[in-house]
């Protein structure tokens, strides 16, 4: 290799390394600053007012309210991560453009794609952090925040309080592929309970069919799941047995009986949480239980929300692309304009996600498309803006 060419190449590589470090430092500084601002604003708007209301109305102790406040921080940090990467890229590349540094870089042969690389690398790191945060920290913190408030809320506000519980149990497996819940299956048991108090089902009625004929009705004051024996314990009630010829053949009164019925109704009620209080593995496991309940609306909601949880971290990459391209292409973009543009982009993106999610909830879009289509559209827009800027 020609020594002069070698020295030029070495100089270029050295300058690129220096430029990468400079851009990375700028991005990291503005990213951390934005993260602090957006997290604080989010927790103030989203949680503080609600906690003040609970302190005043339900006498929630202030130490408990402060503990809930701390537990809600991870959720708002997770929400702030993508918006922070968007604002950081807008400010950083806007600042470089305002100082004509981007023009200088392009004049020595460094392409837009190359000086945007640090932002993409940072966005990949933030995407990984967001995903792990949403899986390992946020669900557990949200669920713990819900639990520690339960003691101080009225009965109807408690998360485990359920009223008018209906659970159909079918013979065989569901044809979940076509969502024909109960349409092609034979109903085996219909279980109804007036409420669930956190441990016991109260006011229980179980209607049993055998060979498509009414076989038995069990009425009980209460029931609970016996985890040691893997069986139902039911208390204080009557068992009505039926035959085709004579109607009610026999009435048995009992103080305690045991039934070999699926534990799914107890799992369905006791494990029920908001989708954002579960990690992905817990959500899919809960869906396995939920699909046998026949509650199509709730099943669809959980599928959409679970897909949205998985899709959410990848917004960081999309926002980095859009922020970098816009910051490098818009002339005279100051910090105030960057902030306004950041809010407008984030609002538009989340509005689109909400609208497409709503279409998923009414089965117009599949859960996968409802969750991922905003990402695909955002990725296409970011790529187009970057190509346009490079030209």
CA distance linking residue 316 with residue 123, whole number of Å: 6
Tokens of 103: 């023009």
* Cβ atoms 90, 323 nearer than 8 A: yes
Q: What is the pTM of this model?
A: 0.72
Tokens of 205: 């009625």
Find the helix or strand (DSSP H, E) in which 238 lies: strand 231-243
As a whole number, mean pLDDT of residues 248-277 equals: 76
As a whole number, mean pLDDT of residues 279-291 equals: 78
pLDDT of residue 353: 92
Which is higher by pLDDT, 343 or 286? 343
Q: What is the pLDDT of residues 209-252, one digit of tens each?
A: 877 778 888 899 988 888 788 888 899 988 888 876 555 567 78
As a whole number, mean pLDDT of residues 22-43 equals: 90
pLDDT of residue 274: 72
CA distance linking residue 213 with residue 259, whole number of Å: 20
* Cβ atoms 112, 389 nearer than 8 A: yes
Average pLDDT over the chain reads 80
Neighbouring residues of 274: CB distance < 8 A, sequence distance ≥ 6: 142, 146
As a whole number, mean pLDDT of residues 368-374 equals: 94
As a whole number, mean pLDDT of residues 123-150 equals: 89
Domain residues of the chain, as ranges? Answer: 3-154+305-390, 164-272
Distance of CA 186 to the CA centre of its chain: 34
Neighbouring residues of 37: CB distance < 8 A, sequence distance ≥ 6: none
Q: Residue length, the chain?
A: 391
Distance of CA 25 to the CA centre of its chain: 31
Q: What is the pLDDT of residues 170-209, one digit of tens each?
A: 765 444 344 444 445 677 888 888 878 767 888 888 888 8
Q: What is the pLDDT of residues 294-351, one digit of tens each?
A: 667 878 888 898 899 999 999 999 999 999 888 877 766 777 788 888 989 999 999 9
């Amino acid at each position: 290799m020609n020594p002069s060419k070698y020295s030029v190449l070495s100089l270029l590589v050295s300058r690129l390394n220096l430029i990468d470090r400079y851009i990375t430092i700028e991005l990291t500084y503005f990213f951390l600053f934005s993260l602090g601002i957006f997290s604080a604003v989010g927790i103030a708007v989203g949680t503080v007012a609600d906690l003040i209301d609970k302190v005043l109305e339900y006498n929630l102790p202030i130490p408990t309210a402060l503990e809930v406040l701390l537990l809600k921080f991870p959720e708002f940090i997770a929400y702030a991560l993508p918006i922070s990467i968007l604002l950081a890229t807008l400010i950083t590349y806007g600042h470089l453009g305002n100082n004509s540094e981007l023009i200088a870089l392009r004049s020595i042969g460094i392409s837009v794609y190359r000086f945007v690389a640090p932002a993409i690398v940072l966005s990949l790191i933030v995407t990984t952090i967001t995903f792990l945060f949403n899986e390992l920290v946020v669900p557990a913190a949200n669920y713990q925040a819900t639990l520690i408030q339960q003691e101080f809320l009225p009965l109807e506000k408690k998360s485990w309080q359920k009223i008018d519980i209906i659970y159909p149990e079918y013979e065989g497996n569901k044809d979940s592929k076509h969502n024909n819940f109960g349409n092609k299956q034979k109903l085996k048991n219909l279980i109804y309970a007036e409420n669930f108090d956190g441990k016991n089902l109260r006011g229980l009625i179980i209607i049993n069919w055998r060979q498509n004929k009414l076989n038995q009705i069990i009425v009980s004051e209460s029931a609970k799941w016996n985890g040691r024996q893997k069986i139902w314990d039911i208390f204080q009630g009557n068992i009505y047995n039926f035959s085709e010829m004579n109607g009610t053949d026999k009435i048995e009164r009992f103080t305690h009986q045991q039934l070999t019925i699926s534990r799914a109704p107890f799992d369905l009620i006791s494990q029920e949480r908001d989708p954002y209080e579960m990690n992905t593995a817990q959500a899919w496991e809960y869906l396995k239980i939920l699909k046998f309940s026949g509650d199509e609306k709730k099943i669809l909601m959980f599928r959409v929300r679970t897909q949205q949880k998985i899709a959410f971290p990848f917004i960081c990459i999309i926002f980095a692309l859009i922020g970098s391209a816009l910051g490098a292409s818009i002339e005279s973009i100051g910090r105030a304009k960057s902030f306004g543009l950041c809010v407008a982009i984030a609002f538009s993106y989340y509005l689109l996600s909400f609208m497409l999610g709503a279409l998923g909830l009414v089965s117009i879009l599949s859960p996968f498309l409802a969750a991922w289509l905003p990402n695909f559209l955002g990725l296409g827009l970011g790529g187009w803006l970057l190509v346009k800027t490079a030209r």
